[in-house]
Structure 1
């Protein structure tokens, strides 16, 4: 509580989670997933008010998103949520870091990005390639049809 302009005791606004200066009512904190409207202020707003794809934001004055909704990741510099599609050949990404989790076929996930398998290999799983001849007898080079499925392009000469 703090004394308002008419010198009567006033409760701190609920959006500050009871964290306000007892002499002037200026917020010193906000409830989870809320940020200050200004520095310092007497109001907190939801993270989604500055980034509609933000799930959890930084509790300080920075207005940076820490965790985004599914399909987005927080930019390292500005803290804005960015679509997974900005990671080349990425299908799904981590919601808290710029890391691809699954890649478009025929790419595999490696070190947070997407890479193509070598010419004589195909996408065996989300993270591994396999030699064409391991799946298709006498096959030298192949294409990925789907994860774990290949189509032979060039056979091994007898």
Structure 2
């Protein structure tokens, strides 16, 4: 048999060999199962840590307004743009760099999943308390009539001195 289909000498149309196609499909299925089994045996699934806030400030201003000569032999970390040492890539502008460091590929290279930890009710209450203390400002009592009287006395005294 020549292949998955064969041509009869007296007939110009192709005749499909169903047994050949079934054999090829079975071989492909067995190959996929073998590769899947090898992958499972080779490396156990990784447990990635949950997404967490950055502990450093992203430096976007250090190269702002500078000129730099770039040659063919310049290393990637010193070329124009923003260099990501985790992913070993150069991104040309700040917006794309921020998109990159917040993206799935970069986070996976850091060993994190894109899932976040769910906050409990107590954590939310504590966060609200912290924010209320942060923005709790003592406001002075403002008396409009007193301010008006003070301004009027200043105006009259300036007018009488001239």
Q: Report the TM-score range of the alignment, normalised by the length of the smaller protein.
A: under 0.3
Higher helix share: 2
Q: What's the TM-score once normalised by structure 1's chain length?
A: 0.20
Q: Quick check: which has more Rg, 1 or 2?
A: 2
Q: What's the TM-score once normalised by structure 2's chain length?
A: 0.19
**Higher relative contact order by CA 8 Å / sep ≥ 6: 1 or 2?**
2
Higher strand share: 1
